[in-house]
């Protein structure tokens, strides 16, 4: 828990993540402020317009009563390659209630999802269907629950090296007889593929039947294994946010970025392209 120093040190880290070039008033853009230190978290009062701003205002940490040090440790656990953390484990590690841990992870994943949803694939793009179903099911659940089709996609550069992965739940109306309908492929391309991509190839049904999409299978298997090992299987309600978390870590690795540093910036409301 003391990985990032004292609570004051953690607040400084959050400040630096939100304002890497120094304070900037969200109201008028002025760069000078006086600090009010009578609260648990400091307030920065703009010297021009007198607007008071907390380092957590307008972020997923706004109005939190949980220490910033615990938030940063939660982000660290989420950012661990091929690991992540569930709410039960997080609650035990940072000594909070399960409800608090669940809410923290939910907010962290919302920040990740907002970022991954806005990213577009470029270069040479491959995309195809992969089924997802919880591994740990009762006999009744097995008979009632059907696998949810997920589009697993990958962009590669001119040398064939992977650049970015994206996994998206397929709307039911984009599937017919276990095949990905052309209307669904067009919508996927319009929403998630850059207009200047070199090429786009689709697998209409199971990836196993398409030689040109074999590179997608390891990512699907790794995501499936991680979800079942860490969360003992997932329903469909939050499945997309967990897919986003998985591909976020994968993509940080492909780019050579620190998943933790990037996550702190996302949680502070800063665009990673800034």
Kindly list the domain boundaries of the chain, sorted by start residue: 7-117, 119-236
Which residues have C-beta within 8 Å of that of residue 220, sequence separation ≥ 6? 130, 150, 152, 167, 207
pLDDT of 16 > 70? The answer is yes
- Nearest-angstrom CA–CA distance, 258 and 256: 7
User: Comparing C-alpha atoms, which of 64, 60, 51, 59 is closest to residue 23?
Assistant: 51
73-109 pLDDT per residue, tens: 999 999 998 778 999 999 999 999 999 999 999 999 9
34-66 pLDDT per residue, tens: 999 988 899 999 999 999 999 999 999 999 999
Residue with the bigger pLDDT between 134 and 72: it is: 72
128-175 pLDDT per residue, tens: 888 776 555 444 544 445 667 899 999 999 898 999 999 999 988 888
Structure tokens at 190: 């319009």
pTM of the model: 0.88
Beta bridge partners of 211: none
208-225 pLDDT per residue, tens: 555 656 788 899 889 988
């Amino acid at each position: 828990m003391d990985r990032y120093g004292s609570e004051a040190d953690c607040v400084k880290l959050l400040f630096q993540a939100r304002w890497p070039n120094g304070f900037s008033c969200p109201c008028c853009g002025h760069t000078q402020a006086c600090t009010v230190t009578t609260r648990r978290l400091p307030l920065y009062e703009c010297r021009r317009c007198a607007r008071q701003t907390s380092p957590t205002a307008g972020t997923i940490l706004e109005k939190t009563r949980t220490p910033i040090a615990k938030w940063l440790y939660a982000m660290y656990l989420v950012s661990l390659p091929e690991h992540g953390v569930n709410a039960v484990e997080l609650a035990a590690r940072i000594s909070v209630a399960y409800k608090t841990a669940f809410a923290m992870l939910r907010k962290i994943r919302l920040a990740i999802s907002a970022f991954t949803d806005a990213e577009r694939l470029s270069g040479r793009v491959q995309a195809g269907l992969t089924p997802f179903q919880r591994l740990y099911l009762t006999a009744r659940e097995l008979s009632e629950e059907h696998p949810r089709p997920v589009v697993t996609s990958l962009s590669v550069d001119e040398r064939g090296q992977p650049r970015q992965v994206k996994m998206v739940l397929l709307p039911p109306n984009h599937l017919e007889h276990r095949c990905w309908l052309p209307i669904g492929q067009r919508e996927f391309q319009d929403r998630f593929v850059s207009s200047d991509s070199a090429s786009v190839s689709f697998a209409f049904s199971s990836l196993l039947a398409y030689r040109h999409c074999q590179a997608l299978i390891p990512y699907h298997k790794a995501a499936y294994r991680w979800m079942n090992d860490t969360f003992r299987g997932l329903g469909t309600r939050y499945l997309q946010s967990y897919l986003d978390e998985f591909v976020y870590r994968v993509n940080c690795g492909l780019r050579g970025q620190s998943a933790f540093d990037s996550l702190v910036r996302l949680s502070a409301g800063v665009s990673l392209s800034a």
